[in-house]
Structure 1
Amino acid sequence: MIILMIHDWTYIFNNHQTAPDANLALEEYALRNLADRNYMMLYCNEASVVLGRNQNPLEEINLGFAYRNNIPVLRRISGGGTVFHHPGNLNFSFITDYKTDRLHNFRFFNEPVVQLLRQLGVPAEMNDRNDILADGRKISGSAQFSSRGRMISHGTLLFDAPLDQLDELLTVQNKDVHSRSHKSVRSRVANISGFLDQQMDISEFRTYLTEGLTGRSGLQDAWTPGEADNREVESLRRNRYTSWEWNYGRSPRFYIDRSEEISGYTVSMQLCAEKGSISETEFAVHDLKKNLNGETGQPEISRNQLQRTLAGISSLLVNKRYEPVTIMNTVQTCVSETLASTAQNPEKGRCASASQIARQISGLIYRLETDFTETPRQT
């Protein structure tokens, strides 16, 4: 093997950890605390989706698919676009001193990876967006971050990932969400394994890159976190990478303008959220929807009841997290209280109507194709 080193890298050993929040925490800890040399980390994560620092998950991810498949959503400290992590991907991190000729210079870090891929028969090359391509399809994306004289350049290599799952996960459903967040650029993707001249699993691929980049065999001279390091990493993992405030609440301010049929009426909504929490909502109830004969049906709830319910919901949602469970609980409370205050319907029918109307209103506020009673997993 031809050794292609841009630095004398010290390998960071993560004890074969695959939890995405733990590995993101270790990356950040190493960036902020290991300042004596150049470090490199190669690792695999469980299935997860990782946002760039300035992104909004509503504009990047099919959240219904993520919820249904128990795929956690996390946010990293660097910018750039959304990426899919999976045991079939290999993630790389390079940590060095900050220098002006290195920031935004992805080729400085990624070209040795490109050369090593070519030695395996992969027709790898970098494009003007700093992605690594093979036959015009994206196999790797990168991002950078700097802090206190140090910087990290990291990315994901698609080795043998389920591309159908990646495609569905990153196909956005909420087209009516608007913000100034950084938007990902969709690209055609491919797996590195499909280009290899020789059969290789991801463990062998990681060993190949480790030895090719460091010039050393195995984990020789690797840095392994001690007890004090692990305590700090765990604190960072718990307080940042498992927190709703960071992973969802860090989203830029966003707006939603949409309408939905609720109990026969057309209802429009305008909503604004800041730091992931609702700052303002406004509902308007329009005329009953007419059928093909130009007639209107008998609504389950009167227009006055619906307006009162929506006014109560609007008031209660202020400063609440923009998340399904919180919204559903708030909506159910208001709908039940409004219908219970009138004797217009029999008790049994009123309960059935309350459940149906609550689901319709919740779907208007947070359009997600999954059960609103489910809670997204935080690792």
Structure 2
Amino acid sequence: MKWRIVRPEVHDAYMNMAIDEAVSEGIMDGSSPPTIRFYIWKPCAVSIGYFQGIRDEVNLDVCRELGVDCIRRWTGGGAVYHDYEGELTYSVIAPASMFPKNIIESYRLICGWIIRGLEHIGITAEFRPINDILVDNKKISGSAQTRRRGVLLQHGTLLYGLDLRIMFSVLNVSRQKISDKMIHSAEERVTCILKHCDVDKTAVCGALIEAFACGASKTNTENKEHEFGTWSEREIMRARELAEKKYKTDEWTYLR
């Protein structure tokens, strides 16, 4: 089955999540191919997992002050700050039958593509179950996955740069608690590409694309049949509808 790879795009939070869902629907009804996409969030955003309460996880006042979007994902996991300058995000959307049934093994497979991409730029990383990638025992990437009606969606982040003060200010940590000690503690647990390699974001994207294109199978590590593409008119129209009628609504955002 031929994969579609979509080169890095820039969208707001609502379109980024709506595209994932629109493509998932297309795969369910056979109108969309298995898809790997890379993207960036503009403006910066905080996404929370489906089961989280946004008021519990996000400092909404600070987000409004800084112009940071807030959105609920339809995957699980925790709250994530998506920095326009400091992060790359990927999504893999395909029939679940193309991946191991075991959740950890499917994470291991897809996260292995990220690890291979990091190798291309000289960074050695390792998979840490359930869904993290570590460099020198520090987290550089996390992912979330859902399976619905025979379709697997996994999306995740790769930290390119790191602004911990903004990260903590938009998550539900009071400004009084954002101390140098807290920053130092976080730096002991989290890292980013620029701390290990002086490489521009374009080169990182190229390395990831190459690695994902080679790794898009559970049985073979050779180059896979793929083509670079974009969205069909049907997909983009559905994504715009989902962005407006679902992801931007208070009913969805404040679901919990």
Same fold (TM over 0.5): yes
In the TM superposition, what are the counterparts of 1:222-261 in structure 2 within 5 Å? 222-248=228-254, 250-251=255-256
Distance 1:13 1:24 in 2: 16
Q: Does 1:59 align with 2:60?
A: no
Distance 1:8 1:102 in 2: 23
Q: Does 1:19 align with 2:25?
A: no
What is the alpha-carbon root mean square deviation over aligned residues?
2.6
Q: Which residue of 2 aligns with 1:38?
A: 34
Percent sequence identity is 27
What letter matches 1:89 in structure 2? E
Greater relative CO, 1 or 2 (CA 8 Å, sep 6+): 2
SS in 2 for 1:168: helix
What letter matches 1:200 in structure 2? V
Q: Deviations over 1:122-171 (max 9, x none)?
A: 23112233211112221111111112111111101111242321132224
Q: Which residue of 1 aligns with 2:208?
A: 209
Distance 2:235 2:56 in 1: 36
In the TM superposition, what are the counterparts of 1:313-324 in structure 2 within 5 Å? none
Unaligned runs of 5+ in 2: 175-185, 215-221
Q: Which residue of 2 aligns with 1:95?
A: 93
Unaligned runs of 5+ in 1: 1-6, 174-185, 252-379
Deviates more, 1:159-168 or 1:147-156: 159-168
Distance 2:147 2:48 in 1: 17
CA contact (8 A) 1:53 1:80 kept: yes
Q: 1:121 to 1:164 in 2, by over 3 A?
A: farther
CA contact (8 A) 1:8 1:214 kept: no
Distance 2:47 2:39 in 1: 14
Distance 1:171 1:238 in 2: 26
Q: Which residue of 2 aligns with 1:326?
A: none
TM-score (norm 1): 0.55
- How far residue 37 of structure 1 moved from its aligned partner, in angstroms, is 4.1
Q: Give the structure with the higher percent helix.
A: 2
What letter matches 1:26 in structure 2? I
In the TM superposition, what are the counterparts of 1:167-206 in structure 2 within 5 Å? 167-173=168-174, 188-196=189-197, 199-206=198-205
CA contact (8 A) 2:139 2:191 kept: yes
Q: 1:213 to 1:124 in 2, by over 3 A?
A: same
CA contact (8 A) 2:107 2:130 kept: no
Q: How many residues align?
A: 228
CA contact (8 A) 2:116 2:211 kept: no
Higher Cα radius of gyration:
1
What letter matches 1:170 in structure 2? L
What letter matches 1:45 in structure 2? W
What letter matches 1:40 in structure 2? I
Distance 1:167 1:191 in 2: 16
Q: 1:102 to 1:45 in 2, by over 3 A?
A: farther
TM-score (norm 2): 0.80
Q: Which residue of 1 aligns with 2:155?
A: 154
- How far residue 223 of structure 1 moved from its aligned partner, in angstroms, is 2.9
- How far residue 103 of structure 1 moved from its aligned partner, in angstroms, is 3.3
CA contact (8 A) 1:27 1:93 kept: yes
